[in-house]
Structure 1
Amino acid sequence: MTRWSRNSAITLWIAIVMLFLAACGGTSQPTTTASSGTDKGTAPASAASKEPVKVVWWHSMSGELGKAIDKLVADFNASQKDVVVEAVFQGTYDESLNKMKASMDSKSGPALIQVFEIGSRFMIDSKAITPMQKFIDADKFDLSQLEENILNYYRIDGKLNSMPFNTSNPILYYNKDMFKAAGLDPEKPPVTYEEVAAASKALTKDGKYGNSFAIYGWFMEQFFANQGAELLNNNNGRKGLATESMLNSDAGIKTLTWWKQMVDDKVSLNLGRKTDDTKKAFIAGQVAMTLDSTGSLRGIVDGAQGKFEVGTGYLPKPSDAKDGGVIVGGASVYILNNRSEAEQNGAWQFIKFLAEPKQQAFWHVNTGYFPITKKAYDEQIVKDNLAKYPQLKTAVDQLHATKANTATQGAVMGVFPEARQLTESAIEEVLNGKKQPKDSLDNAAKEITGKLGTYNKTVK
């Protein structure tokens, strides 16, 4: 998975919200006329000219991911004559969203945009979108064909405002060879905090460490969900706007205390905030365990080839944790309401194309992201890929084992990028010995709560 940029101008988020809401608040939504009947629907075309409708799609996928997007777009354009999609890379998720805000007055923006999952609340509050549910209902699109635990994140107030696109979650990666050498069972990865700590002690020797976990706010969010704990009040911001951060609850303190103790015991190597650094240390055999996205699986397995065998396990949790699981990460696609009805319906046709098993299988195999469509797993290329990378089964099983509740649905708030940065600062303070877990999380929770209050005023 391409990690979302955390070095961009996150601190401008509140200002962006205010400006964006002011610019977009009065925008009316066009009537949705997606066809009913078949999944394909009726693609829009201009009655006067019969020219295909052009749909501009802004995305944030670079490198190999961008090439996969270009292939999907080319295949869609070749599959019919009524809609032409143009995919345009717009930089990081933050950069793309800022450009969309700036484009609203001039209507020079896209009809379709990919937005990271933590931008969900902001997109809804912006009033700049036509909810995806309008097209789903009008077209009688069968949502049961899609993965329920993926839909759960994006379903707010019982409806979908966007369609999931690139989806991942975190798993534990471990070095099976180092496990064998330490007398640990290479087929039984640790599943609890306590087991991770014990295994790390056994694995730390000869200048090598038991684990290294990046200081990444996303991981803390996942640790909460895996304990069945909510990160925000008002049911994680899903039963009304969140007004209070619960980062300093027992789930947060327990997690950070465990993490700090391993660093203090010198069995966990603190390499800072970049997941790339922990990934490199793992592939180099410097650490025996790490956490990373399922989207990194192929790169990690290929990188370790010829050096050691990579094992995978579920995200760890405390031994006394309540029912939980993982939250989906990644991004979804939104249809913007200041584009013509024809463009919006054209975007919907493309979205349905992307959701088909064949396209989802291609996307999964070439990127490592989960298919959002269940039947994609029946495609031969997916079966072949699973045979080549059996570690992927861990990720799929973990997704399916997740208990659906407001904790695993994930938190939604309009200041999520800032909240994630504050969370990382709190973790960093503790791991560097500057503050105790409770004190640091208390301060971060207070700051996040303050920012929630400021944001909520702009929405009202």
Structure 2
Amino acid sequence: MAPTLDRRNFLGLAGASAGAAALAACGGPSTSGGGATTDASDIDFTGVKPAGSFDFWTSHPGKSQDVEKAIIDKFQAKYPDIKVNLITAGANYEEIAQKFQTSQAAKSALPGLVVLSDVWWFRYYTNGNIIPLDGLIKQLDFKMDDFQKSLVDDYKYNDKQWALPYGRSTPLFYYNKDHFKAAGLPDRAPKTWQEFGEWAPKLKAASGASYSYMYLALAGYAGWTLQNNLWGWGGSWSNGWDLNCDSAESVAALQWAQDSVYKDKWAGVSSKNAADDFAAGIASATISSTGDLLGVLQSAKFNVGVGFLPGGPKKDTGVCPTGGAGLGIPSGVSKEVQMAAATFLKFMTEPESTAAFSAATGYMPIRKSADMAAVLAKTPQIKTAMDQLAVTHVQDNARVFLPGADQEMAKAAAKILTQQGDVKATMTDLKTTLDGIYTKDVKPKLKS
């Protein structure tokens, strides 16, 4: 059994496998003290002039390429001496992480600014791949008091700021208002999964959809969204460092999910993208990222509703994880490139930019003063995501800090939901696997 330790005692994953695929979407570690330290903490940018150009690596989270280009155009109108090269460095957070790590190892061309998922940034810190932003924040006068504190704090460690929030999200419950109306159901998200279980047969009978509910594609972020189910039943992937994914509560949560597919036959599992399946009318409801909101609203031929994530029999609030990505500056580029990237980072995170980014994607506005009035008038559903931020829950250590754990969770979920595998046995095997990762890659990095 792994000892229950506070996150403040976590020292890092410097020895973790570079190829381990821990997918995105987590509330990063709320930690202080301990950990790897580097001379980078003392970088002095006094007198440094920004480079004439730098590469910005992004996966265009939330289909944001157009708005990224628009923000860059405005930046270059204000700063004509700094050219931002927008580079598609991957189709998702995992691909961009792998490309960044490969470039580090090969000492090849590195970006000046990189989109990094909340799962990966801490690994970059322990490996010395990114710099602390504090000196640049002070020198360029970032208005840090105006940032959403909970989102900024996700990237703090050792009293240093290692990234700033960018495409931040929570999962949302999406539902087809027309299907709900046809079934005589309330125009709202269910308060609990048990309530939805009562609604599901009516939905299937009245809607004509193949499924009342579609689970997220398991190759995607199953480990992220299934925390909602686990927490609602009083379970989790882990409690601190106590790996309890095989607890009675966790097993009961996933048994209920399996029964919804095989026994009750009203739920399905997306083969590729649950949000797309929902928008196509294949399912009456799903859970997906707030970053999918604009795309769903544009694609769907029906009235779309959104709501908070449902609770469960043990817990009906605080069952929603945060997620998404931030922006970091690599250590392996010149100070001039770092200064140019920081100048753009400041512009990218200013209220006008973050409001435009949120309007185009559905991601959270990261600045308190961002004027969202026009956005909310056009897309009032975004307010639900903003409101839900107040009842989010920090992610389980097992998903955040164990390299490759997210893939292992996805494999276990696939066995349970697409192969009707025995839930208890599958979760017991998963615990064994997670224990092995913990013992090999994490325990040696924990403060005694």
What band does the TM-score fall into relative to the shorter chain?
A: 0.7 to 0.9
CA deviation profile, 1:2-39 (whole Å, cap 9, x unmatched): xxxxxxxxxxx82547xxxxxxx99852743357xxxx
CA deviation profile, 1:131-168 (whole Å, cap 9, x unmatched): 23443456664433112332343334554321111111
Aligned to 1:239: none
TM-score (norm 2): 0.80
Give the conservation status (yes or no) of the 8 Å contact 2:269–2:418. no
Give the conservation status (yes or no) of the 8 Å contact 2:311–2:319. no
Aligned to 1:212: 214
User: How far apart, in 1, do the equivalents of 2:351 and 2:288 lie?
Assistant: 26
Aligned to 1:203: 203
Aligned to 1:72: 71
Q: Closer, same or farther in 2 for the Cα pair 1:315/1:400, shift >3 Å?
A: same
Give the conservation status (yes or no) of the 8 Å contact 1:193–1:317. yes
CA deviation profile, 1:45-78 (whole Å, cap 9, x unmatched): 27xxxxx443322222289522222222222222
Aligned to 2:262: 264
Cα deviation for residue 454 of structure 1 reads 2.7
User: How far apart, in 1, do the equivalents of 2:62 and 2:324 lie?
Assistant: 16
Cα deviation for residue 183 of structure 1 reads 1.9
Aligned to 2:286: 290
Match 1:348 to one of 342, 350, 372: 342
Give the conservation status (yes or no) of the 8 Å contact 2:230–2:254. no
User: How far apart, in 2, do the equivalents of 1:422 and 1:126 lie?
Assistant: 23
Cα deviation for residue 219 of structure 1 reads 0.8
Q: Look up the equivalent residue of 1:197 and give its one-letter code.
A: G
The answer to whether residue 432 in structure 2 is matched with residue 446 in structure 1 is yes
TM-score (norm 1): 0.78
Match 2:354 to one of 353, 360, 363: 360
Q: Closer, same or farther in 2 for the Cα pair 1:191/1:343, shift >3 Å?
A: same
The two structures, once aligned, show a CA RMSD in angstroms of 3.2
Aligned to 1:86: 85
User: How far apart, in 1, do the equivalents of 2:252 and 2:145 lie?
Assistant: 37
| Counterpart secondary structure, 1:444 | helix
Q: Mapping of 1:46-65 within 5 angstroms?
A: 52-61=51-60, 64-65=63-64
| Counterpart secondary structure, 1:282 | helix
Give the conservation status (yes or no) of the 8 Å contact 1:326–1:408. no
Q: Look up the equivalent residue of 1:332 and give its one-letter code.
A: G
Cα deviation for residue 178 of structure 1 reads 1.7
Aligned to 2:148: 147
The answer to whether residue 349 in structure 2 is matched with residue 338 in structure 1 is no
User: How far apart, in 2, do the equivalents of 1:221 and 1:287 lie?
Assistant: 21
Give the conservation status (yes or no) of the 8 Å contact 1:169–1:328. yes
Q: Which runs of 5+ in 2 are unaligned?
A: 1-15, 21-35
Q: Closer, same or farther in 2 for the Cα pair 1:15/1:410, shift >3 Å?
A: closer
| Counterpart secondary structure, 1:247 | coil
Cα deviation for residue 90 of structure 1 reads 1.4
Identity %: 27
User: How far apart, in 1, do the equivalents of 2:136 and 2:323 lie?
Assistant: 24
Q: Closer, same or farther in 2 for the Cα pair 1:53/1:222, shift >3 Å?
A: farther
Give the conservation status (yes or no) of the 8 Å contact 1:173–1:291. yes
Aligned to 2:33: none
Give the conservation status (yes or no) of the 8 Å contact 1:231–1:407. no
Q: Closer, same or farther in 2 for the Cα pair 1:124/1:452, shift >3 Å?
A: farther
The answer to whether residue 257 in structure 2 is matched with residue 253 in structure 1 is no
Q: Look up the equivalent residue of 1:439 and give its one-letter code.
A: A
Aligned to 2:117: 116
Give the conservation status (yes or no) of the 8 Å contact 2:224–2:321. no
| Counterpart secondary structure, 1:374 | coil
| Counterpart secondary structure, 1:29 | helix
Q: Closer, same or farther in 2 for the Cα pair 1:217/1:412, shift >3 Å?
A: closer
User: How far apart, in 1, do the equivalents of 2:445 and 2:338 lie?
Assistant: 25
Q: Look up the equivalent residue of 2:267 and give its one-letter code.
A: L
Aligned length: 408
Q: Mapping of 1:275-424 within 5 angstroms?
A: 276=273, 278-305=274-301, 308-321=302-315, 324-376=318-370, 378=371, 382-402=372-392, 406-407=394-395, 412-415=400-403, 418-424=404-410
| Counterpart secondary structure, 1:204 | helix
| Counterpart secondary structure, 1:183 | coil
Aligned to 1:96: 96
Q: Mapping of 1:9-28 within 5 angstroms?
A: 14-16=17-19, 28=39
CA deviation profile, 1:348-396 (whole Å, cap 9, x unmatched): 22211111111111111122222111211x2xxx323322222222111
Q: Closer, same or farther in 2 for the Cα pair 1:126/1:391, shift >3 Å?
A: same
Q: Which runs of 5+ in 1 are unaligned?
A: 1-12, 18-24, 36-41, 47-51, 236-241
